[in-house]
Amino acid sequence: MFSTGKGGVHVPHNKNTAGLPAVRMPAPSCVVLPTSMHIGKPANPVVKPKDHVNVGTLIAESTGPVSSPVYSSISGEVTKIDTILTAGGTFVPAIFIQSDGQMTVDESICPPEVNDYASFIEAVRQSGIVGLGGAGFPTAVKLDVKDTSRIQELVINAAECEPYITSDTRTMLDDADDVKAGIELFEKYLNIKKVIIGIESNKPDAIRRMKAVFANDKAVTVVTLPGIYPQGAEKIIIKNTTGKTVPAGKLPIDVGSLVCNVTTIAAIARYIKTGMPLIEKCVTVDGTAVSDPKNVIVPIGTSVKELISFCNINEDDIYKILFGGPMMGISTPDPEAPILKNTNAITVMGLKEATQPKATQCIHCGKCATHCPMNLTTFAFGRAYERNDAEELQRLRVDLCVECGCCSFICPAKRPLVEINKLSKAMLRAYQTKQKQIAAEKEAQEAAEAAKEAKKA
């Protein structure tokens, strides 16, 4: 059970903002910066209430190998450090900053000194950059492969397959020089010999731009991918650009591939050039409740409410707000929720689209399995979950589900299959944790009995 590059679904593209360069919103009145906007350990606050901070001031430092520092996105005063509930459903400490309206840049900002592989990785680590395509994995950890000879190709993920979202498209059109500079840094410091940029066919302008920019770089190939969701899933794009299959339980580097989002590449180049860490994001604001969709450059930590106000969206038309796109986005009931490092879109839905369809009994059509890009027997997860059968879920490899939403999208019975899959994965994790605990207790007991027998002897 692994990705073959098959499956997937045809979704409405709705790339309404593809031709709209990003506009910069004014400094927000305040920002709320969670210490965890990435996979891994939260950062540790290094400021306290009443401290004055500027744009780019370090406010929380990374706390381990898989962590990422946080920097202030505005200038102003730290008002408090308090726990908030994120859109992802977790409670994390967050730093609240009241804007002084000046957007003063921290005087310490300067380009990092980079002259070899180690200093390049350290610079990426200090930049605060995480996977900007939505995953949020600390980029320095991904790049720290030690033996760069393992990398056979760098795959640039520019598929941007979710409906509505065009922030990566604007990176390729507006910041092509940064994309080029970022790839050159990878070629130099990671000894990359082959680069593949994968772009879906519904972005002809971006494809032309990237081909023109890299016309004289023989190491770089721009590949046009079919417009099939979820083309941008990591293992899918590897299969469809290189022909390689990443086996279950393995990482891309195990087949010689390193995958990086195109906006992440550009952000690394900007940091190396300017020294300004990750403090803002280009966010697509669109959806059926949006009459004037936009791409907006937003200071990280800005509330969704302020962003929506900037976009002149009528509050009476709003019935649901998603962080991300309609396929994998996470709904938030709180308009005060902050824009995060890995927020690439806010999708605002009207009543019709926000209303959950009535689910009926499974008709055993098998479409969910046919369209699953990971070749999973999706229909079987629900039965195992209802029986509380974690062993069956383990056998079915529910852990390989990437939660892309193809199954829910294609299901004629409108069953909430993604939600069932998420609950099933949680059940499996709890089961596996319990099994490890039982095994550890058994091992300790056997060791104690052996020691007791040895003492008798």
The pLDDT assigned to 6 comes to 65
The residue-averaged pLDDT of 280-298 equals 97
Question: CB of 183 within 8 A of CB of 265?
Answer: yes
Compute the CA torsion angle 88, 93, 94, 95 (nearest 10 deg). -170
pTM (2 d.p.): 0.92
Second-level CATH architecture of 23-274: 3-Layer(aba) Sandwich (3.40)
The pLDDT assigned to 329 comes to 93
Question: Where do the DSSP E strands lie in 38-185?
Answer: 44-45, 52-53, 58-61, 70-71, 76-85, 91-99, 153-157
Task: Bin 23: left if φ > 0, else alpha if -120 < ψ < 50, else beta.
Answer: beta
pLDDT at residue 98 is higher than 90: yes
If one compares 7 and 101, the residue with the highest pLDDT of the two is 101
The residue-averaged pLDDT of 294-310 equals 97
pLDDT at residue 2 is higher than 60: no
The pLDDT assigned to 454 comes to 84
Instruction: Encode pLDDT of 387-404 as tens digits.
Output: 999 999 999 999 999 999
CATH 3.40.50.11540-classified regions of the chain: 23-274
Tell me which of 54-58, 247-251, 350-354, 396-400 is least confident: 247-251
Instruction: Encode pLDDT of 234-257 as tens digits.
Output: 999 999 999 999 998 899 999 999
DSSP secondary structure string for all residues of 374-424: T---HHHHHHHHHTT-HHHHHHHTGGG----SHHHHH-TT---HHHHHHHH
| Pairing relationship of beta strands 23-24 and 294-299 according to DSSP bridges | parallel
Q: Amino acid letter at 439?
A: A
Question: CB of 368 within 8 A of CB of 379?
Answer: yes
pLDDT at residue 4 is higher than 80: no
Share of the chain above pLDDT 70, in %: 98
Instruction: Encode pLDDT of 71-80 as tens digits.
Output: 999 999 999 9
Residue in the block written with tokens 């007791």:
452
pLDDT at residue 135 is higher than 90: no
pLDDT at residue 414 is higher than 80: yes
Share of the chain above pLDDT 90, in %: 89
The residue-averaged pLDDT of 173-198 equals 97
Instruction: Encode pLDDT of 18-41 as tens digits.
Output: 999 999 999 999 999 999 998 889
- How open is the CA angle 308-343-409, to the nearest 5 degrees? 90
Is 417 exposed, middle or buried (CB count within 10 Å of its CB: 0-12, 13-18, 19+)? Answer: buried
